[in-house]
């Protein structure tokens, strides 16, 4: 009888260990997915600035879906311009919008929110940039840190005007991103 209980205990223990292993496989799969998403995003980085970018304001004049496009701008336009868990960001036209760090005497903790700009001008001067996967959905990994990308970074984006894009919502599917080298730390020059 003791051997029967030992055998039963051993089988139960083996089943418990085996069933716990499934969680490790799932965690490993999640890490692999995150790693492959990050690799895919890293592959988008362009070491050299593409030539002939349009400002967002110029590009918005004809938001024809499917059109190949190169746009330049600054990561700004709302309080959270970089989505943490998806490859989405808001790019603003620095020719039309001033981030608060460029306004003398403005010590705004979120200068990329362009809170001092007219909301109608903001809406007409921003684009949503996204990196999509093979299913046409935004990649499940944020863009923050990619090539040094952060709020207030200047970017040049190569891509295609998304099919969902229209005059009210300018959406670009990025196929390449160039992060413009920033000036030396601490040299944010405020406009006079």
Condensed to tens digits (0 to 9), the pLDDT of residues 14-50 reads 333 334 444 454 444 445 555 677 788 999 999 999 9
Give the pTM.
0.78
Residue showing tokens 């496009």: 69
Q: How far apart are CA 102 and CA 110, in angstroms?
A: 12
When computed from its CA atoms, the radius of gyration of the chain, rounded to whole angstroms, is: 23
End-to-end CA distance of the chain: 91
**Half-sphere exposure in the Cβ direction for 172 (13 Å, CA):** 30
Please tell me the predicted confidence (pLDDT) of residue 189: 42
On the question of pLDDT at 76 being above 50, the answer is yes
**CA atoms of 81 and 93, how far apart (whole Å):** 13
Helices (H), 43-104: 56-59
Give the tokens for residue 15: 């089943």
């Amino acid at each position: 009888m003791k051997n029967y209980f030992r055998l039963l205990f051993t089988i139960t223990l083996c089943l418990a260990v085996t069933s716990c292993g499934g969680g490790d496989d799932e965690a490993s799969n999640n890490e692999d997915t995150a790693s492959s998403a990050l690799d895919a995003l890293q592959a988008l980085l362009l070491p050299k600035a593409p030539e002939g970018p349009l400002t967002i304001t110029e590009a918005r004049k004809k938001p024809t879906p499917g059109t190949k496009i190169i746009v330049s701008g600054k990561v700004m336009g709302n309080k959270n311009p970089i989505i943490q868990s998806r490859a989405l960001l808001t790019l603003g036209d620095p020719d039309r919008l001033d981030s608060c760090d460029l306004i003398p005497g403005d010590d705004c903790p979120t200068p990329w929110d362009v809170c001092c700009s007219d909301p109608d001008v903001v809406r007409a001067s921003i684009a949503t940039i996204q990196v999509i996967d093979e299913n046409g959905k935004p990649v499940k990994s944020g863009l923050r840190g990619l090539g040094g990308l952060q709020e207030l970074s200047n970017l040049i984006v190569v891509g295609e005007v998304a099919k969902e894009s229209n005059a009210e919502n300018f959406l670009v599917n990025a196929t390449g991103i160039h992060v413009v080298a920033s000036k030396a730390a601490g040299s944010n020059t405020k406009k006079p």
